[in-house]
Amino acid sequence: MTGIDISFEFFPPRSPDAVARLEQTRARLNAWRPSFFSVTFGAGGSTRELTLETAQAVTAATGVDCAPHISCLGTPQAELRAVIQRYVDVGIKRVVALRGDMPSGLTGFGELRYASELVAFIRQEAGDAFHIEVAAYPEFHPQATTAAADLQHFKTKVEAGANSAITQYFYNPDAYFRFLDSCAALGISLPIVPGIMPITNFSQLMRFSEMCGAEVPRWIVKRLRDFGDDREAIRAFGIDVTSALCERLVSGGAPGLHFYTMNQHEAATAILTNIGVNSSHGRQLDANHSPPAVD
């Protein structure tokens, strides 16, 4: 069985407690020997410094590349140029390039309107300094006019210079495999890694999914609702469902798993343990299903 690449996404912590929590999280997750970590970028560049600081701190503590995200909507080109240059100067090797969403209160789009334009701009400014990740949407982007148009826009973004893609989260593996088939039919051949959102909190999941257009299947919603305030039951069910999803994705040939960790290590650890991933960067033939020791 071939190995799979694991990666973990964080958001920049904003308080001393949150910083301490992330330090613990990154140490625990580093035991899985991830290919990389990544750190989100606030809409309109609102976390610009914090994103980079967090990414640098993660790499310094773990020895693993940490990709700062960068988004273009609502940010002038000159500012983006400065961010890209700073990433080059401090030795960043990988970035996640996104359009982003319009920050509330802002109306102008900035000069770059789509992620494909940002990817082209990064290549123009920094050449091959970075491995560029882009976003993909197996259930299609909520603003897409048609599925076919969304796929064409994805192809344009890839051809602008992306190296690999991470998907929005989803709970229907068929959407992912169909998306891969459509990409292959269009001649898109870069690795497309599923983004995994562990289910741990019902109201938060519904709020995020409403915002980003991810579908939570009705049967999952119904069951989660039945658990009411029983957090332990929600967590156990959520880990069960997400583990089964990951198992299906990996056995169907997904090249890796990218976890939206919400700066917590417990759920990702439980899922990776359940599906028999080991700490040597992939799955064992005879998985012993025990988590690796923390370094």
Q: Looking at beta carbons only, is 136 or 271 nearer to ligand FAD?
A: 136
3-state secondary structure of 253: coil
Whether 70 and 80 have beta carbons less than 8 Å apart is answered as yes
**Smallest distance, Å, CB 48 to ligand FAD?**
11
10 Å Cβ neighbour count for 84?
Answer: 22
Buried b (16+ CB within 10 A) or exposed e, 128-137: ebbbbbbbbb
**Smallest distance, Å, CB 152 to ligand FAD?**
8
Q: Looking at beta carbons only, is 85 or 145 nearer to ligand FAD?
A: 145
Active site residue 210: no
**Smallest distance, Å, CB 148 to ligand FAD?**
10
Q: Looking at beta carbons only, is 135 or 254 nearer to ligand FAD?
A: 135
10 Å Cβ neighbour count for 19?
Answer: 14
Which stretches of the chain bind ligand FAD, using CB under 6 A?
40-41, 43, 69, 71, 96, 98-101, 114-116, 135, 141, 143-144, 149-150, 153, 157, 166, 168, 195, 212
Q: Looking at beta carbons only, is 177 or 208 nearer to ligand FAD?
A: 208
**Smallest distance, Å, CB 209 to ligand FAD?**
12
DSSP 143-200: T-S-HHHHHHHHHHHHHTT--EEEEEE-S-HHHHHHHHHHHHHTT--S-EEEEE----
Q: Looking at beta carbons only, is 18 or 149 nearer to ligand FAD?
A: 149
DSSP assignment letter at 291: P
CA-only gyration radius of the chain, Å: 19
DSSP 69-126: EEE-TT--HHHHHHHHHHHHHTT--EEEEE---PPTT-----S--SHHHHHHHHHHHH
**Smallest distance, Å, CB 15 to ligand FAD?**
19
Q: Which are the catalytic amino acids? A: 9
